[in-house]
Homo-oligomer: A and B are copies of this chain.
Amino acid sequence: MDLITPDRPVVTVEEICELLGYAPASAYRYVRELAGAGYLVRLPTGYALGPRIIELDLQMRENDPLLTQSRNLVEGIAEKTGLSVLISELYEEKVVAVFQEHAPNENITFGRGRSMPLFRGATTRVIMAHLMPKRLRRLYDKHAESPDAIAIGADWRSFSRAMLEIRKAGYCLSKGELDNKNAGIAAPILDGNNRVFGAVTIVGTIDRFSAFNDSFLVSTVKTAAETISTFIRGDVSSRQEKTSSK
């Protein structure tokens, strides 16, 4: 599905074979199956993404506890501050915002659905800072050469110290790292054992950001993240507890 890009909005079977190294018979089988399940759709010139994705998107917007339980909270912050608010999650080596409350006149490149680069921006950094040490180490080693990683710390010692600072502070503030006119402040969403799921981020132009005390933004974003963390932990929603005797 990632073969579909702005340059290649419709992908042919031939391209799939070339790019992924499949035999034609296999590629035809794959697209047939994926199209049958709605993940792809067959157009006259090839395959495009299919309706199942839109269906899942709705399913998530309606049911995901991370979204449903934090919607009001996030909207409130956006309204009060006039800044944008994002809720992001980590997967593989990407951080993706799954919810965005867009304040007027804001221009955010890495909004809902656009995966953010590692090592850059408040959201990504605050999430990384709360990863388990061994996982963080693996990530760092893999990208130690990247300029963004070096900017945080040229070696593991200084890098992990920087991360520890963020973890101790409980938030991360950045200016102009993703959009040079924007600033962001992020706090982690944690489970009961301080494992990180994602982050809450407040984003706005540097100008607008400066209108607030840093301490106000810090406490706002931290409180929001803690509230959401609590929601998620106790998340028994409408399900019955099993206090059975088994």
Contact = CB atoms under 8 A, between A and B. Distances in A.
Interface of A: 1-2, 4-10, 35-38, 41-45, 48-60, 62-66, 68, 88-92, 94, 96-98, 112-115, 191-192, 197, 232-233, 235-239
Contact of A191 (B43, B88, B89): B43
- Label chain A's interface by main secondary structure: mixed
A171 to B, nearest CB: 21
Contact of A9 (B4, B7, B51, B237): B237
Contact of A54 (B68, B112, B237): B112
Nearest to A236: B45
Nearest to A91: B38
Contact of A96 (B36, B37, B54): B54
Contacts of A236: 45
B237 A51 contact: no
Contacts of A115: 55
A113 B63 contact: no
B43 A235 contact: yes
A43 B62 CA distance: 17
B91 A10 contact: no
Contacts of A50: 89, 91
A41 B89 contact: yes
Contacts of A62: 6
A195 to B, nearest CB: 9
A58 B4 contact: no
Rank and list the top 9 A-B pairs by shortest CB-CB distance, nearest first: A58-B113, A38-B91, A51-B96, A51-B89, A57-B57, A49-B60, A9-B63, A44-B191, A54-B113
Contacts of A91: 35-38, 41, 50-52
Given A37-B92, A38-B89, 5 more contacts: A9-B68, A9-B237, A38-B94, A45-B236, A51-B96
A200 to B, nearest CB: 14
Nearest to A233: B44
Contact of A55 (B5, B52, B113, B237): B113
Nearest to A49: B60
Contacts of A2: 59
